[in-house]
Amino acid sequence: MGRRVAIVGVGMTKFVRRAQETGKELAYYAAKEALDYCGMKLSQIDAVVIGSAPDTFDGVHMKGEYLSDGAGGFNKPTLRCYVGGGTGVFAVICGWYHVASGLIDSCLVVCEEKMSSYQPHPQGAFLTIFDHTTERPLKPNLLWIFALEMNRYMTTYGIKKEEIALVAVKNKKNALDHPAAQLKEEITVQDVLNSPVLAYPVQRLDVSPVSDGACAIVMVNEYLARRWTNKPVWVEGVGWSLDTAYWTNRDLCYPRYVEEAARMAYKMAGVTNPRYDIHIAEPYDPFDYKELHHLEGLMLCGKGEAPQLTVDGVTQRDGDLPVCPSGGLLGVGNPIAAAGLMKVIELFLQLRGEAGKRQVARKVRRGVAQAWGDLMQVGAVTVLGI
């Protein structure tokens, strides 16, 4: 895949329902932590990549410009990339192509989200994601499309809610060991099934929380990697794909866009048998069913088979394929773009053996992180390895 690109430093803030800090301040905290992690100074960074989801959350038009100084972008080449909910993992891809181009030696990637600014509820910001003429007059809310996709997935493969609820139980439990987590709790499948129905089949405990937070990583070329760390984590493959906006013309039972993105990333990484070549996965889990959906799209199991993988305990931290050992969005929280980057940070720590209490049982040399977004349309995939 041409020039090698490494991640050498990571940083993140706490994920909270409502942060006292402004978006800029959160971005600064994360960026500074990432630089400190590897001992770099901002002056040693050539370019900055910013990732953040819709401007309406913060109520700031041109949010990338607003965040730029907090993210370390002052007087530097700064680019803000954007693929909706997929932005957190895509920002890593954007950082990768900066460095892999050969023109930029070091790149600071910062993702921030402050969803608490929008009143009375951040869901309001999502009202305007639908087609302005053919859908918005029906006054849709965000949960509709996820409920529609979840129902289609369950109906097509005959999946039970009990099986899906296991994901929420696992991830929220994993989050108990994450110091930045917002929703760490021990719950049971019955708790999920008894939680209020929001939009059938989606219930309260199927859903990740609304969050504020920021994450950052430092990406450098092969020559600098050895200078700043003795354990670089390499970007082995990247892939992304955006399916048609005509989402009512697609079969929602399977995320083709994730498969396309994964194929691209695996090809670059030389992964031929994902189930064996990938040792750990952080798929995007804003809803419990999405972790399953995405495991299938990532070709880590067959279509409709992810629930069984979960039932069998394969995806637990001590399983053969640990999935969301961080606690995922369901447990750590979902400040959208920052949540995607949190997954990459988790892989970085796991691959280096620095995940502390969250360290998975098996030996891991290669992992995959994935994020998803838009109208059930975006797949962003990175394969990391040591």
Partner 1 sequence: MKVGIVGMGLTPLRPLSPELSYKELVYEAAVKAYNECGINPRKDVDTFVTCAEDYIEGTSIFDEYTPDQLGGALKPNHTVTQDGLQGIIAACLQILTGNFNIAVVEAHVKSSNILTPDGIHLCALDPIYVRPLNLNPYFIAGLEYDRFLRVNMINGIECGEVVIKNKRNALKNPYACYGENLTLDDYLSSDPVSLPLLSADISQPADGACVFVLASEKVATSLNKEPIWISGFGWNSGSYNLDTREWFYLSYVEKAAKMAYQEADIKNPQKEIDFAEIDDTFSYKELQHLEALGIFTEGRVFAKLKEGAFHPEGEFPVNPSGGSLGMGYLYEATGLMRLFVACLQLKGKAGEFQLKKADKALVHSWRGLPTQSTACLIIERR
Partner 2 sequence: MKFLGTGLKDEEIKERKVCLAYWKADAKYAWDCGIAIGKYLAGLKEGKILGVKCEKCGRIMVPPRIFCEECFRTIDSWVELKDTGKVNTFSLCYITWDMKFLKEPQIPAVIEIDGASPGHGIMHLLGEVKPEEVKVGMKVKAVWKKKEEREGAITDILYFKPI
Residues that bind partner 2 (CB under 8 A): 10-21, 26, 29, 33, 37, 59, 120-121, 123-124, 126-127, 131-135, 137-144, 147-149, 151-152, 155, 179-180, 182, 196-202, 212-214, 244, 246, 248-252
Q: Is position 41 an interface residue for partner 1 (rule: CB under 8 A)?
A: no
Choose the one of partner 2, partner 1, none that binds residue 213, judging by a C-beta under 5 to 8 angstroms depending on kind.
Answer: partner 2
| Stretch of 93-101, 181-189, 202-210, 288-296 lying at the interface with partner 1 (CB under 8 A) | 93-101
Q: Which does residue 325 bind out of partner 2, partner 1, none, counting CB within 5 to 8 angstroms by kind?
A: none
Q: Give the Cα separation of 261 and 383 in Å (integer).
A: 11
Out of 373, 382, 383, 385, the only residue in the binding site for partner 1 (CB under 8 A) is 373
Please count the residues of the chain. Answer: 386
18's tokens? 């409502």
According to CB under 8 A, which one of 27, 94, 269, 295 is a site residue for partner 1? 94
66 binds partner 1 (CB under 8 A): yes
Q: Report the residue number, 142 or 268, with the smaller CB distance to partner 2.
A: 142
Q: Three-state DSSP class for 259?
A: helix
CB atoms within 10 A of CB 276: 11
List, in sequence order, every residue forming a beta bridge with 381; answer none if it has no partner. Answer: 239, 370
Q: Is 381 in the site for partner 1 (CB under 8 A)?
A: no
Q: Between 161-174 and 288-297, two packed helices, what is the crossing angle to 10 degrees? A: 100
Q: Does 58 bind partner 1 (CB under 8 A)?
A: yes
* Residue of 61, 158, 196, 230 that binds partner 1 (CB under 8 A): 61
- Which residues are CB-contacts of 50 (< 8 A; sequence separation ≥ 6)? 27, 64, 67, 68, 71, 73, 78, 79, 80, 81, 91, 110, 111, 112
Query: Binding segment for partner 1 among 68-76, 154-162, 183-191, 301-309 (CB under 8 A)?
Result: 68-76
Query: Which single residue is written with the structure tokens 């001590």?
Result: 318
Secondary structure class of 271 (helix, strand, coil): coil
Least distance to partner 1, CB of residue 232, Å: 18
d(CA 329, CA 178): 12
Least distance CB 104 / partner 2 (angstroms): 25
Question: Is 177 one of the binding residues for partner 1 (CB under 8 A)?
Answer: no
Asked if residue 109 lies in contact with residue 95, where contact means CB atoms within 8 angstroms, the answer is yes
156 backbone dihedrals φ, ψ, rounded to 5°: -60, -45
Residue 153 interacting with partner 1 (CB under 8 A): no
Is 227 a residue that touches partner 1 (CB under 8 A)?
no
Site string for partner 1, 97-116 (x = CB under 8 A): xx-xxxxx------------
What residues have CB less than 8 Å from 75, skipping those under 6 apart?
none
Query: Closest approach of Cβ 148 to partner 2, in Å?
Result: 5
For position 244 contacting partner 1 by CB under 8 A, the verdict is yes
Query: For residues 87 and 109, what is the distance between their CA atoms, to the nearest angstrom?
Result: 11
Asked if 248 touches partner 1 (CB under 8 A), the answer is no
Rounded CA-CA distance 379/259 in Å is 8
**How many CA atoms are closer than 13 Å to the CA of 126, on its beta-carbon side?**
18
Binding residues (CB under 8 A) for partner 1: these are 1-3, 22, 48, 53-56, 58-66, 68-69, 73-85, 90, 94, 96-98, 100-104, 117, 125-129, 131-132, 239-246, 256-257, 260-261, 264, 268, 373-375, 377-378
